[in-house]
Structure 1
Amino acid sequence: MSFALIINRTSKALNFAKSNGWLNLLRLILHRLLRVGGYFGKTRIFGLYDFVTQPAIGVAARADGVSNKTINWFVPEVGKGSGGHLNIFRFIKNLEAHGFENRIVIIGSPTRKAPDRIKSEIHEWFFPVQAEVYSDAESAPPAYFTMATSWPTAYYVRAYQSTMQRCYFVQDFEPWFYPAGSDSLLAEATYGFGFQGFTAGSWLARKLSEEFSMPTCALGFSFDRELYKPQSKPQVERKHKRIFFYARPPTARRAFELGLLVLAAVSKRLPDAEIVLAGWDVRNYDIPFQVEHVGLVDLKDLPALYGGCDVALVLSCSNLSLLPLELMACGVPVVSNRAPFTEWLLNDSNAVLADATVEGLSTAIIDLLESPAKIDKIRQAGFDFACHTSWENEAKIMAEHLESLAN
């Protein structure tokens, strides 16, 4: 094994630990040592991709033998701070109010935790839900609906027999997460499985419907009203403008490198502007302008961080996350790249959109910072837009669609 490969795998291990904790990294290493030929051993392709040719799981369910308000959610291993899991659990919680019995079924976990422990972590890391937790598909009880939540889980849902209706909770176009190759092809294939899609936003619903003939139901975004709200103005007005940037190098679709180039151009034009980087520890990056490194931030501390900034740069090369709405709810104007996957949520009224170039985005930020009237207008429009969204309304749309499928 080459030294470069050792460095690469060590870097991946450290990133895994930062996202999932050192104990989970230890479990993963033990799993590799015991079952995958050793941490530095040969990669077993067939072990990694067994789920693609997954044999049938369970026995066929009968319509009269299972309640049409039961949902098995097939979910990847839960990680602390995972935005994707947060959205899943939020819909689970809100569907409970509509009389649905939800089950959380962990799929493909290398750490194999006990169900009670997983449920405890969900409560601790996110919020309490009534849903029972199962550590694999084999132990899950029959359900009327079975919901895939990522492309690997879709292969398990396809194989799962103890259900009447297969569905797909799609939060992004996952083939774009990978270079052109096996993973992107296998991910794309899942959209042709014939599942009922529930998508994060209208862009994704339209794309899957038009390109893969998937029946879709678009669900909107919202934000946690208890957490995200305008912050009290400081008693002493800030001397310098502050720019927030969601800096997350491991997530390529958030365009970290482009963001730095944009901010460098802004810093050159506005040298007194303060630039805040949050989302990942990037202190080991050589950044040739002054920044405030915030790194990973506890959920409870985000509103104060957001509210202390005059403008936020949020870049996305695929579907948007909840971040723009959370910033808007805190009264922070958002600057983003103009694209079909951003414009279903953001527009020229509630945000500032620009071409995904250094010149376009840096000019948009500078123009906004130099125009107090425009900042106030975008701030108010973004806040009003965010306030008209509702997780409860989106869950109601999903519940009604599920009921129509059952009937």
Structure 2
Amino acid sequence: MNAEEPQGSAARRTGARAAKAAGILRAGGPRALAQRLARHAFHRLHDPSLDEPLLDGDVADSTRLNLATPERRPLRSEQLRIGWVTTPPRAGSGGHTTLFRMVEAVERAGHRCELFLYDRYGGDVREHERVIRGWWPNIGAGVHDASAGISGVDASVASSWDTAHVLARRGTAPMRRLYFIQDFEPFFYARGSMYALAEDTYRFGFRCIALGEMVAELLRSEVGIAPDTTEFGCDTSVYRLLPGRARTGVVAYARPDVPRRGYWLARLALEQFHGLHPEIDIHMYGAEINGLPFPVAQHGRLTPAELNELYNRSIAGLAMSFTNISLVAEEMLAAGAIPVVNDSSHSRADLVNGHVAWANPTPHGIAAALGDVVARADRDAAARSASESVRPFGWTKAQSDVVRILEDEVYGS
């Protein structure tokens, strides 16, 4: 090989890259080229360990756990101190909202609660506390950094698979340990390391409280454990019919970064739906999405009251979820919007309601289900019936169940 060949090869590669960049610029414009360059830089510089939700030292192993419990149980007359281990919440996070409803109920029952936040990236706990106080003002729990240890409590409750590992590794002081399970979280991932680590948490020996029959059945069939089970609720003080609203559109919750929310399917379905029903407005909330091939009103992050207003202006909405039934479905029903939900036997076990539009989880199946709903002549009557079908007790059943189970675990039967 002579000295000029490597230079010629380098020149050819440079020319090829320039031609490719020019093609992207012509086809998609400057934004598409910038996105392509950013993606290339990400793959060159990205550290894969940053995608791991736990530090290596916080990974527990069910086969090696021997966690201490207290030698004596407190008297029923004694106030309990309950820890809740959770990741830092984003403003308005649905999963945290459900968890904090349980915290609020335990506090109302006369017990003291403490939040132990696990931030794998070492964020400022004071900033996380500011978000909690602003978005969930009804809880009075103290806020602590879980990396400093979990102690000084009668019991602690893990709230996700990663926090279950943290509780097992950092909550080694004598206490009772429970696990509030809102999703069968191994399904968040392809079969691999995180699937296995998530599934292993169900073998840690914590007392498991499953939210809904889908999670409970998967814990029984996939792992072989028998959890306590409670049920979903809906805050009908927020999600309800509003007078004088004209229903003219459909709405979808957009979370492209959360695969279980089915965004890709939803996007493809909405494109087909728009082709069939161009007269129907399409609304999205959650993330704001650029470059969609159909017109859409983007609403970004909404408060519950704002979301109820949007639902009241919607004929139907997409309530996609693949690891448990989405809370969005019953909230839509309460506001009179017909939810289109990806069909499965597990989902039907938790959402027993004749007003739900069950859809085959394909682009055509979802688009067809949306089309059937908007084509109905009795929209207003359907909205009223859907709203009236929602159970009136809200979250009180789940809250009382969690208080009862916690007290039973700590005080004893």
Q: Which amino acid aligns with 1:366?
A: G
- Counterpart-to-counterpart distance in 2, 1:257 and 1:114: 34
- Counterpart-to-counterpart distance in 1, 2:269 and 2:285: 16
CA apart distance, 1:64: 4.7
Alignment of 1:193-204 (within 5 A): 193-204=204-215
Which stretch has the larger CA shift, 379-388 or 358-367?
Answer: 379-388
Is 1:395 aligned with 2:399? yes
**Matched residue, 1:254:** 261
The 1:147–1:288 alpha-carbon spacing in structure 2 relative to 1, beyond 3 Å, is same
Partner of residue 71 from structure 1, selected from 82, 94, 98: 82
- Counterpart-to-counterpart distance in 1, 2:67 and 2:149: 9
2:251–2:314: 8 Å Cα contact kept in structure 1?
yes
Aligned length: 371
- Counterpart-to-counterpart distance in 2, 1:6 and 1:297: 32
Is 1:289 aligned with 2:294? yes
Partner of residue 61 from structure 1, selected from 66, 70, 77: 70
TM-score scaled by structure 1? 0.81
Q: Which amino acid aligns with 2:277?
A: L
Q: Please say which structure displays the higher CA radius of gyration.
A: 2
Alignment of 1:36-51 (within 5 A): 43=49, 48-51=55-58
Using CA pairs below 8 Å that are at least 6 residues apart, which structure has the higher relative contact order? 2
Partner of residue 121 from structure 1, selected from 131, 136, 147: 131
- Counterpart-to-counterpart distance in 2, 1:49 and 1:121: 27
Q: Which amino acid aligns with 2:164?
A: A
**Matched residue, 2:167:** 157
- Counterpart-to-counterpart distance in 2, 1:46 and 1:293: 30
CA apart distance, 1:74: 1.0
Q: Which amino acid aligns with 1:311?
A: A
Give the aligned CA root-mean-square deviation in angstroms.
3.2
- Counterpart-to-counterpart distance in 2, 1:391 and 1:346: 15
Q: Which amino acid aligns with 2:267?
A: L
**Matched residue, 1:142:** 152
Give per-residue Cα distances to partners, 1:50-100, cap 9 Å, x unaligned: 211499999763325795733211111232222111111111001212223
Q: Which runs of 5+ in 2 are unaligned?
A: 1-33
Find the residue that maps to 1:214 and give its secondary structure: coil
- Counterpart-to-counterpart distance in 2, 1:383 and 1:42: 46
CA apart distance, 1:225: 3.3
**Matched residue, 1:332:** 337
The 1:269–1:122 alpha-carbon spacing in structure 2 relative to 1, beyond 3 Å, is same
Partner of residue 225 from structure 1, selected from 232, 236, 257: 236
2:113–2:141: 8 Å Cα contact kept in structure 1?
yes
The 1:91–1:369 alpha-carbon spacing in structure 2 relative to 1, beyond 3 Å, is same
Find the residue that maps to 2:299 and give its secondary structure: strand
Q: Which amino acid aligns with 2:38?
A: I
Q: Which runs of 5+ in 1 are unaligned?
A: 13-38
- Counterpart-to-counterpart distance in 2, 1:9 and 1:98: 54
Find the residue that maps to 1:316 and give its secondary structure: coil
Give per-residue Cα distances to partners, 1:142-166, cap 9 Å, x unaligned: 3232211111111122232324321
Find the residue that maps to 1:258 and give its secondary structure: helix
**Matched residue, 2:347:** 342
**Matched residue, 1:7:** 38
Is 1:359 aligned with 2:364? yes
- Counterpart-to-counterpart distance in 2, 1:189 and 1:74: 17
The 1:288–1:136 alpha-carbon spacing in structure 2 relative to 1, beyond 3 Å, is closer
- Counterpart-to-counterpart distance in 2, 1:56 and 1:138: 20
- Counterpart-to-counterpart distance in 2, 1:56 and 1:213: 18
Find the residue that maps to 2:228 and give its secondary structure: strand
Is 1:181 aligned with 2:188? no
Partner of residue 87 from structure 1, selected from 91, 98, 105: 98
Of all paired residues, the percent bearing the same amino acid is 25
- Counterpart-to-counterpart distance in 1, 2:97 and 2:398: 15
- Counterpart-to-counterpart distance in 1, 2:335 and 2:115: 32
CA apart distance, 1:119: 3.7
- Counterpart-to-counterpart distance in 2, 1:230 and 1:158: 45
CA apart distance, 1:123: 1.5
1:201–1:219: 8 Å Cα contact kept in structure 2?
yes
Give per-residue Cα distances to partners, 1:7-50, cap 9 Å, x unaligned: 349879xxxxxxxxxxxxxxxxxxxxxxxxxx867858898322
Q: Which amino acid aligns with 2:405?
A: H
**Matched residue, 1:35:** none
**Matched residue, 2:109:** 98
The 1:178–1:210 alpha-carbon spacing in structure 2 relative to 1, beyond 3 Å, is closer
2:332–2:339: 8 Å Cα contact kept in structure 1?
yes
Find the residue that maps to 2:251 and give its secondary structure: strand
Q: Which amino acid aligns with 2:386?
A: G
